[in-house]
Amino acid sequence: MQIREMLTDFVVENFLFGRHGELKDDDSFQENGIIDSTGVLELIAFIEERFAIRLHDSDLIPENLDSIRRVTDFVQRQLSVTTERSDAA
């Protein structure tokens, strides 16, 4: 499954409780009430666990985490950095 689909499934299941039709790739999680003040912690835990990447405090900003597209781009960036590091090693 692609990153975007995995993230979409997670958000739909955990925050929209199955209402898939309401989520578009650029919908702001916060502005649309999709993720509450602590829900972002669930999202972070999912990203760290599912994609085996570690998020730093400076990563935890809406620019990286506030829509499906932003999270997908962010995860892809992180994964490519991890891959580059592995290649270099």
Q: What does the binding site for other proteins look like in residue numbers (CB under 8 A)? A: 13-14, 16-19, 30, 33, 36-42, 57, 60-62
Q: Which is nearer to other proteins, 50 or 84 (CB)?
A: 50
Tell me the CB-side half-sphere exposure of residue 3, using CA atoms within 13 A: 17
CB atoms within 10 A of CB 18: 8
Q: How far is the CB of 29 from other proteins (least distance, A)?
A: 10
Q: Which is nearer to other proteins, 1 or 18 (CB)?
A: 18
Q: Which is nearer to other proteins, 18 or 89 (CB)?
A: 18
8 A C-beta contact, residue 14 and residue 41 = no
**Amino acid sitting at position 39:** G
Q: How far is the CB of 72 from other proteins (least distance, A)?
A: 19
Q: How far is the CB of 22 from other proteins (least distance, A)?
A: 9
Cα 8 from Cα 67, distance rounded (Å): 10
